[in-house]
Amino acid sequence: MRLSSGIWVGAPTLVVALLLPLVLFTNPYNRGLLVLIVIYAVAGLSLDYIMGEMGQFSFGHAAFWGFGAYVSAKLALDLGVSPWIGFVAAPVAAGLVGLLIGYIALRRTRGLELAIVTLGFGVLAWTVALRWRPVTGGPSGLRQVPPPSIFGWEIRSELAYYYFALVLLLVVVFVLSRLRRSRFGRAVRSIHENEDLARSVGVSATKYYVIAFAFACSLVGFSGALYAHHFRFVNPNLLGLQYMFIFLIVVLVGGTGSLWGPVLGALIFVLVSEWLRVLQEYRFLIFGVVLLLVVLFMPTGVFPTMRRVIRRLVERRGSDRDANAPDADDRADRTRAG
């Protein structure tokens, strides 16, 4: 069931994803939106690792995103380092900082307290990026960040960068899905489910949570580097709360605890945001309302709700007898929302 449903959802999605820039998103601007969807999807997946897998919340997640973007941009601009090395250096650097912040925060704090501690860190990081002109370029940031190139050919066009980023998104989804069922993934999940019980069977809660947190930071740092080398600039706003809210919308609208959720959330966010472009800053007003409606009527997010409805339809057709018996996923989804 799990495998087959994965293929049935995954294969058509992939085909659609490959065809999109050739059919619907044919001009460079629209293709740029596709790149943004992929970048937000990676960021959303990383935030959902904290929210869905760890059951925690970090308000400093965008700071790691911006940090990753700066690291890669800085290396390329100041040291002439290839963006490919930046794509490795950014997640490593973000992961190391994540390890430090995680170690400070996660030894004692969970839940709301952790959200506040990470919020403090995020605001601090944003302020540093804004003020430390010699390094960060101050409010205007850094420009002319070079694109990556393969065999002397620059991945500069939206189309090429989209396919490039899409491949990396697939790798991320693949790794995350395998990670869930690994010893590490199960340890993290067990702490989320019941920390005392996890400790009593030998799971070091602090160790696994710090590593899991750093992993999520590392992943979002990677997403930040992808952003920097495509849009070719970085500025302090990348570390700020605006992007934090974007990632939050991506995760909550798409659905936590499912790999397709944040991907779908990123798609919805970018497209709706584009349709509402005329409203400028008031867009977030609309998003506030959308978020409210989703949380009220689809508390598990769009993707899990869709999956449940489809499963129910399939089951009803399959056997009328069992149609009213809620399945395990259904219950798990509802629990997570509560």
Partner 1 sequence: MALLETTGLTRLFGGLRAVDRLDLRVEEGEIMGLIGPNGSGKTTALNLITGFIKPTEGAVTYEGEDVTGSPPHDLAGRGLVRTFQITTLFENLTVRDNVLHGSHLDNPTSLIGALTRSRRHREQHAALDARVRETLAFVGLERRIDAVARDLSAGEHRYLEIAIALAAKPRMLLLDEPATGLNPEEAVYLMNLIRTLRRRGVTVLLIEHNMRLITNICTRVTVLNFGAKIAEGTPEEIVENEAVVTAYLGKRRGA
Q: What does each C-alpha distance from 241 to 100, 124, 247, 248 come to in angstroms?
A: 21, 12, 10, 10
Nearest Cα to 192, choosing from 116, 258, 111?
A: 111
Asked if 195 contacts 106 with a C-beta cutoff of 8 angstroms, the reply is no
**Which tokens hold the place of 32?**
């740029």
Should residue 107 be labelled a site residue for partner 1 when binding is judged by CB under 8 A? no
Nearer Cβ to partner 1 (119/175): 175
Nearer Cβ to partner 1 (272/337): 337
> Smallest distance from the beta carbon of 95 to partner 1, in angstroms?
15
> Smallest distance from the beta carbon of 14 to partner 1, in angstroms?
20
> Smallest distance from the beta carbon of 47 to partner 1, in angstroms?
21
Residue 144, sorted as left (phi over 0), alpha (psi -120 to 50) or beta, turns out to be left
Dihedral through CA 14, CA 177, CA 150, CA 266, nearest 10? 60
**Cα-Cα end-to-end distance for the chain:** 26
Should residue 198 be labelled a site residue for partner 1 when binding is judged by CB under 8 A? yes
Should residue 187 be labelled a site residue for partner 1 when binding is judged by CB under 8 A? yes
Q: What would the 3-class secondary structure string for 284-297 be?
A: HHHHHHHHHHHHHH
**Which tokens hold the place of 327?**
């399945």
> Smallest distance from the beta carbon of 239 to partner 1, in angstroms?
30
Should residue 203 be labelled a site residue for partner 1 when binding is judged by CB under 8 A? yes
Should residue 1 be labelled a site residue for partner 1 when binding is judged by CB under 8 A? no
Helix (H, G, I), strand (E, B) or coil at 154: strand
CA distance 41 to 169: 8
Should residue 186 be labelled a site residue for partner 1 when binding is judged by CB under 8 A? yes
> Smallest distance from the beta carbon of 328 to partner 1, in angstroms?
5
> Smallest distance from the beta carbon of 176 to partner 1, in angstroms?
10
Residues 35-54 that bind partner 1 (CB under 8 A): none
Judged by CB under 8 A, which of 16, 313, 323, 332 binds partner 1?
Answer: 332
Nearer Cβ to partner 1 (28/326): 326
Should residue 171 be labelled a site residue for partner 1 when binding is judged by CB under 8 A? no
**Which tokens hold the place of 48?**
């959902």
CA distance 281 to 277: 9
Should residue 5 be labelled a site residue for partner 1 when binding is judged by CB under 8 A? no
Size of the site for partner 1 (CB under 8 A): 29
Helix (H, G, I), strand (E, B) or coil at 303: helix
Residues 208-267 that bind partner 1 (CB under 8 A): none
Should residue 189 be labelled a site residue for partner 1 when binding is judged by CB under 8 A? yes
How many Cα atoms are found within 13 Å in the side-chain-facing hemisphere of 60? 28
Should residue 335 be labelled a site residue for partner 1 when binding is judged by CB under 8 A? yes
Judged by CB under 8 A, which of 24, 194, 271, 293 binds partner 1?
Answer: 194
**Binding positions for partner 1, rule: CB under 8 A:** 175, 178-179, 181-187, 189-190, 193-194, 196-205, 328, 331-332, 335-336
